[in-house]
Amino acid sequence: MVGPFGFCRGGWKGQHNIHQCKNMEEGVLCDYEENYFIAPCMLHEKTPQKIICPKPDPQIENSSVLCYVFVEKFLPTPIFHRLIAACIARWPIATHKKENQIFCGCCVFQLGQNHKLTIHVREHVIFVRVARKGIKDKTLSPKLYIEVRELITTMLNNITGNLGQNLKFEYCIRCPG
């Protein structure tokens, strides 16, 4: 379950501001079953450039970037935060050197053993990319990419609809490179 935005009083623990809190209050993004919450206003660490624009690596294959463009060139920050919270409820946050890969405006999720999903925001565009590592068969199966696109689109439709916002968005593909 994802709760509304705001603040939390109670015990703060964890890294990268993914915390556990004994006193859940209205105003935080939380999952009571997993006993975590995320306070987006506490994410101050900038996203490393290598996550947003990865260098070519023969061991990693990146998908094209799926862009969700908000038509009126306006994207309220809470919509992106709620998208990240919905994704956290769906997929585990990826780690690198035991550090959670969640930053201000970006989060990386682990999709199985070999795939990672990166979602970041800039102005009124949400960027989504899937990377695959270490698979010898170079034939990409579009099934995972289609599933991710459908899930993210559904999440955004639900989020904008639940907020009573009439925010229209379109998605398009931006080729890597």
What residue segments make up the domains of the chain, in order of their start? Answer: 42-174
Residue 54: pLDDT band (50, 70, 90) is: confident
- What does the mean pLDDT of the chain come to? 76
Give the 3-state secondary structure of 84-125: HHHHHHHCCECEECCEECEECCEEEEEECCCEEEEEEEECCE
For 174, the enclosing helix (H) or strand (E) is strand 169-174
The answer regarding whether domain 42-174 maps to CATH 2.30.40.10 reads no
* Tokens 């809190």 -> residue: 21
Q: Count the Cβ atoms, other than its own, within 10 Å of residue 79.
A: 20
Percentage of the chain beyond pLDDT 90 is 32
Residue 3 has pLDDT above 60, yes or no: no
The highest-confidence range among 50-64, 73-87, 160-174, by mean pLDDT, is 73-87
Measured distance CA(19)–CA(36) in Å, rounded: 6
Query: Across 8-151, where does the E strand assignment appear?
Result: 18-19, 29-31, 36-38, 60-62, 65-70, 95-96, 99-100, 102-103, 106-111, 115-122, 125-133
Residue 108: pLDDT band (50, 70, 90) is: very high
pLDDT for position 29: 57
pLDDT tens by residue, 8-41: 433 333 433 344 343 333 345 554 445 556 676 6
Q: What is the mean pLDDT of residues 155-168?
A: 83
* Tokens 């996203």 -> residue: 47
pLDDT for position 22: 37
Running DSSP on this structure, what letter comes out for residue 176?
-
Residue 57: pLDDT band (50, 70, 90) is: confident
Contact criterion met (CB below 8 Å) for 13 and 73: no
Residues pairing with 67 in the sheet = 127, 172
